[in-house]
Chain A
Amino acid sequence: MQGMKKLGVGAFALFLSLSARADFTWNFPEPVTPMALDTLHVHNKFMLITAVIFVVVLAIMIYSIVTHRHSKGYKPVADKAPSTAIEIFWTLIPFAILLLIDFVIMGIPAYHSVVMMEDTRDQSTMVIKITGSQWRWQYEYLDGDAKGIKFVSNLATTDGQMHNAEDKGEHYLLEVDNPLVLPVGEKVRILMTASDVLHNWWVPQFGSSRVAVPGFIRETWVQVEKPGVYRGQCKELCGKGHGYMPVVVNAVSKEEFAQWANKKQDEQKAASDVKEMTKDELIAQGKTVYEKNCAVCHQVSGAGLPPAFPALTGSKVATGPIFGADGKYQKDSHMDRVLNGKGVMPAWKATLNDTEIAAVITYERNALGNTAAVDAVVQPAQVKAARE
């Protein structure tokens, strides 16, 4: 028992000495939504009660261990089996105490938390849809100022940092190219789904966490009450990129949100305008799209990770014909793969716009060691046609 105490003191001293050089968190991060605040209260209360139970029971045990020792010559009490009535009485007392703790002291607040957590509609002012895919989040604003805005959010930490070749940034593994932007103070209803496997969208400071299930819609909500940047991660094992699927939410004032929405809508409109592009323009843009979305599996060099993710360099799909004699794209062609996916390869038609798809296909056919003889350049207009 002394050992246990020593351990406690030792561990505490160790933590103290370490806390001098790092921020340690001993509890949930600062809550910024009503749900997270509620969760923190529930957690603290539970922890307090269980800690008290633990300490009291431990104290009784330690007292008994110190006092009732063979080595001290303590004689065991003639503990003849108690009468059933006494036995029942002594079991019912802790039973009753626990009944009170479980179903009254803890149970009633827990009930209210559940009801609050599951009420996604009441007073909600906007709806967004979050889709998890391997290994990125896709956000879509379904109504309000930002209606129609749709984008993909990818990990922004560089490969060099992950492999210790570069110094790690402050937000290592918790940074993205396109954060989700939300207005402060609004109850936002979130519809959640996935395109391939299960994911879980989790920001610890929000207190909400929902599994994204492919083929189903799940719901949750957030109401951020303090402007700021909030970070989290996917927390349902979703394959090799599971640790590289951060969530970043930028909570801004309503005015800023409206401005951002206008700007984003204009950008998106411009991007979706189909215009003729030169081969070089397509390749340049395609490189960016490739490295953001495709390089995770097919590698920056195009070498792939066989057998799950085939090489693009020298692949039949990336160098063979796309369009048939009738001008329509063929089954199992490069266009078909990128638009519709196959097996573990996700479908990109919902994620990328026409220009991006045309650019990435052109890039893959003219770079990564490839020089396609036929259909070397794909124009956004051709992608648009292929969608129809």
Chain B
Amino acid sequence: MSTTTVAHHDEHHDHPTGIMRWLTTTNHKDIGTMYLTFSLIMFLVGGSMILGIRAELFKPGLQLMNPEFFNQLIGVHALIMIFAALMPAATGFANWMLPLQIGAPDMALPRLNNWGFWILPPSAILLTLPFTLALFGVGDGALATGWTFYPPLSVQGGIGVDFAIFAVHLLGISSVLGSINIIVTIYNMRAPGMTLMKMPMFAWGWLITAFLLIATIPVLAGAVTMLLTDRHFGTHFFDAAGGGDPIMFQHLFWFFGHPEVYILLLPVWGFIPQILQTFSRKPMYGYKAQVYSLWAIGALAVVVWAHHFFTAGMPVPALLYFMYSTMAISLPLAVLFYCWIRTMWKGSMSFETPMLFTVGWIILFGVGGLTGLVLADVAADAQYHNSYFVVAHFHYTLFAGGIMGIMAGVYYWLPKMTGHMYNEKLGKLHFWLTAISFNVTFIPQFFVGLAGMPRRIPDYALQFAEFNMISTIGAFVLGLSQLLFVYIIISCVKGGKKATDRVWEGAEGLEWTLPSPPPYHSFTEQPVVK
């Protein structure tokens, strides 16, 4: 893609300063920054919750908490990590980078954008408030059902379940608003000459994500609303005694829940090839193949949901259908892997922190993908299901594939956003600490899972003790390493070596034609793509 150089003028337009700037802002970069900051804070909150869990599981016996509190922590950890850490991080990148990458002055619906963000903090409070209320004797803490809300357990639960239902509603509204904005921006505000098939891959990743969100979030909202009426208004959607079926909830939940996995990953699959081409100093391989693969994955995402509950009982034809359709996801995904590796092949690679994270990401996400393929087999799944094997698998996809991808993006764009280079040595240290401790944490979980340790149990049989101990040690190193990440970001925002406009030698795309940091109003003259 070739671009013309554009003229900038960085004079200040009138906009509020101080706290009002952030409360009332409609500027895509400010909103992006808020999303990313919120995401980082919630990542630390969700992370400390799981450290509590891992500390409890360090050795057999109950040490720190009662089982009820343990169950609350696992559910809220998952909800926070998915809805309040990963999704806002991807939305933050979208806000920051999409307009820059497609040559738009801002997002199409800036006020909606502001609203979309400010729904998030209240819902995060709703998620965490029940813990606090319980301290004062109100209710019995947060939801203790896991993030999946399965009835009848969630019908039985206390006020924490209602809090979580409302929180999910708000988070869902925020995501749908963000998605609408992204779709409108991408379709209407591309620079002249930028056809859809010339669009940066990140825009493609997010476009498909946005469609998936709009298709599935309302189903989740419906399901939890039905749950709410079952809990309080005497309906029996999920109660066999009144003609309902608890498994129907699982169908509705996973119709959202499975695409959700891709919602978390598609934006990352968008910018990973961009990072690869930058540090390989050659254009990404198979742009079209990647775009089609993303669409194929998006389409398959909404037709495979029932593989999450193979053991709940299904007719044989349904089992076979969901098994084969799930396996089919490996086809487009393999195309993506092929294109990523082919992009590196015969490049001129250098290994700055973003590239390290990207290469580590490909390997570890590969482990997550391959173990996912095995999980699709119905017979084997009867063993893996709800065991620690599954926990390890989805952390390879969501921590390695999601969070480490996001980290690659942070290091890639941080100089562009702040105008300063981050500390490269510390960045590399952060990568190695994260990658190694991540494996120390989750490799043992594959083995305890195979040996027969169920997930979501507060205590375990003696045979699982050693692996759990290793896993806990890994988790603490992993958790503490993230403080280094926070330090690197803060010191980069505060100052450091001045970043050039292009930042990386091989960087391609409109965002690199702007100064670092980009002016408050990015493109004063519309760029033209040839």
List A residues at the B interface (Cβ < 8 Å): 1, 3-4, 7, 11, 14, 18, 22-29, 35-36, 38-39, 42-43, 46-47, 50, 53-54, 57-58, 60-61, 64-65, 68-71, 74-77, 79, 81, 84, 87-88, 90-91, 94-95, 98-99, 102-103, 106-107, 110-111, 113-118, 161-164, 168, 170-174, 196-198, 200, 202, 204, 207-211, 213-216, 218-219, 231-244, 307-308, 343-344
B245 touches A71 (CB 8 A): no
Residues of B within 8 A of A235 (CB): 385-387, 454-455
A232 and B387 CA atoms in complex are apart in Å by: 12
Question: Does B67 sit at the interface, judged by CB under 8 A?
Answer: yes
Known: A110-B378, A198-B246. A239 touches B367 (CB 8 A): no
A257 and B350 CA atoms in complex are apart in Å by: 69
Q: Which of B226-234, B410-418, B443-451 contacts A (4 or more CB under 8 A)?
A: B443-451
B316 touches A99 (CB 8 A): no
- Enumerate 24 A-B pairs (CB-CB under 8 Å) in ascending A order: A3-B436, A7-B435, A24-B466, A25-B447, A64-B349, A65-B344, A65-B349, A68-B348, A69-B348, A70-B348, A75-B348, A98-B334, A110-B323, A164-B61, A172-B462, A173-B461, A197-B152, A197-B156, A211-B311, A211-B313, A237-B146, A238-B153, A240-B71, A243-B459
B470 touches A14 (CB 8 A): yes
A13 to chain B, nearest CB (A): 12
A116 and B63 CA atoms in complex are apart in Å by: 43
A4 and B458 CA atoms in complex are apart in Å by: 32
Known: A11-B439, A91-B289, A215-B239. A107 touches B362 (CB 8 A): no
Known: A113-B378, A114-B319, A215-B239. A233 touches B282 (CB 8 A): no
B363 touches A61 (CB 8 A): yes
A243 touches B458 (CB 8 A): yes
B window 415-473: CB within 8 A of A: 432, 435-436, 439-440, 443, 447, 450-452, 454-463, 465-467, 470
B456 touches A242 (CB 8 A): yes
Chain A residue nearest to B384 in the complex (CB): A43
Question: Does B335 sit at the interface, judged by CB under 8 A?
Answer: yes
Question: Does B44 sit at the interface, judged by CB under 8 A?
Answer: no
A158 to chain B, nearest CB (A): 12
B504 to chain A, nearest CB (A): 11
A277 to chain B, nearest CB (A): 35
Task: Give how many B residues have a beta carbon under 8 Å from the other chain's beta carbons.
Answer: 100
Question: Does B338 sit at the interface, judged by CB under 8 A?
Answer: yes
Chain B residue nearest to A21 in the complex (CB): B466
A197 touches B153 (CB 8 A): yes
A295 and B460 CA atoms in complex are apart in Å by: 21
B341 touches A64 (CB 8 A): yes
Chain B residue nearest to A171 in the complex (CB): B461
Chain B residue nearest to A43 in the complex (CB): B380
A29 touches B452 (CB 8 A): yes
Question: Does B140 sit at the interface, judged by CB under 8 A?
Answer: yes
A238 and B457 CA atoms in complex are apart in Å by: 10
Question: Does B166 sit at the interface, judged by CB under 8 A?
Answer: no
B window 27-68: CB within 8 A of A: 60-63, 66-68
B359 touches A79 (CB 8 A): no
Residues of B within 8 A of A69 (CB): 348-350
A209 touches B359 (CB 8 A): no
A21 to chain B, nearest CB (A): 8
A164 touches B323 (CB 8 A): no
Chain A residue nearest to B364 in the complex (CB): A4
Residues of B within 8 A of A243 (CB): 67, 454, 456-460
A240 touches B144 (CB 8 A): yes
A136 and B240 CA atoms in complex are apart in Å by: 21
A62 and B370 CA atoms in complex are apart in Å by: 19
B291 to chain A, nearest CB (A): 12
B311 touches A28 (CB 8 A): no
Known: A50-B374, A218-B313, A242-B71. A4 touches B363 (CB 8 A): yes
Residues of B within 8 A of A344 (CB): 156
A45 to chain B, nearest CB (A): 10
B240 touches A204 (CB 8 A): no
